[in-house]
Structure 1
């Protein structure tokens, strides 16, 4: 094989490896099955989320928890998206905050992820339901629906992202 062709082959392999490494640094949600159609109304999304909530209501908070004996906010959001929308999200709040497109608070829709910075080192995530309500896991009350216009949540609100 001529030297120029060897160099071209090596360059092609190197480029492919670099692209693979770079793509591993970012996360795109994985759609595992038939997702909710893009044309689905906000009411349909809200209804599915509220039905899902009925199965999880008052499940206690547990840091690192992943099931009905105790669950944390990011695991609940991850499992909700997988169950309700057939979309695989990353496990941690920090990774989830990097997923999707940031939208303004005024533009939020049912199914959007709401992020809060509740302390210097702690972030919280919930799912917007419409009408200023969101679904999340409270440390004291477990899986609940809260009002976004409560002073605590207004004070700690960080951003909204859209995955759907």
Structure 2
């Protein structure tokens, strides 16, 4: 695990030098092809490293267990210094509704997972989102995953 984190840090550091360059316009970032690359490209590696694998717990707000809305609340606060309400439905009431083709890293993606059940995650690029999964805890998933894709409800920007 330590070697994996060191490799990720080295990749992040190298990519910063590559992307910094001398050009007056920033170099475009390549699309991530794996969840780990998505996290690194989005600059979320430190936050994700701290939370990866923390188990899901409804109503949980700490490393003993966390639910999806507490996770996005913490992520937005730590990464963007944006304070969000506590629940998924409260989070959905703030921010600006975004069209699918305008989504970008930092947006929250909301899912309807049941008749009255909802889920939220943080986009790390246009293909991946990080979230607190009920089955695997804090993780990164693809938006086109057969489970998540048909359940996408809306995207909001803060």
Query: What is the TM-score of this pair, normalised by structure 1?
Result: 0.70
Distance 1:64 1:56, change over 3 A: same
Work out whether 1:150 is the aligned partner of 2:134: no
C-alpha distance after superposition, 1:111-140 (max 9, x if no partner): 000000000011100000114000001101
Max Rg structure? 1
- Which structure 1 residue ranges, 5 or more long, are not aligned? 1-40
Q: Distance in 2 between matches of 1:54 and 1:71?
A: 15
Secondary structure in structure 2 of the residue aligned to 1:151: coil
How big is each residue's C-alpha offset from its partner over 1:12-70, in whole Å with a ceiling of 9 and x where there is no partner?
xxxxxxxxxxxxxxxxxxxxxxxxxxxxx996995332321111000000000000000
Aligned ranges 1:85-124 → 2 under 5 Å: 85-124=80-119
| 1:56-106: CA deviation from partner (whole Å, max 9, x where unpaired) | 000000000000000000000001111111111000000101111001111
User: What RMSD in Å do the two structures reach over aligned CA positions?
Assistant: 2.2
Match of 1:74 in 2: 69
Which runs of 5 or more residues in structure 2 are unaligned? 1-26, 30-38
Q: Count the aligned residue pairs.
A: 124
Q: List per-residue Cα deviations over 1:125-162 (Å, max 9, x = no partner).
A: 00001140000011010000000001111111100000
Q: Which residue of 1 aligns with 2:134?
A: 139
Structure 1 residue ranges, 4+ long, deviating more than 2 angstroms after superposition: 41-51
**2:20 corresponds to 1:49:** no
Structure 1 residues 160 and 145, CA gap change in structure 2 (3 angstroms): same
TM-score by length of 2: 0.73
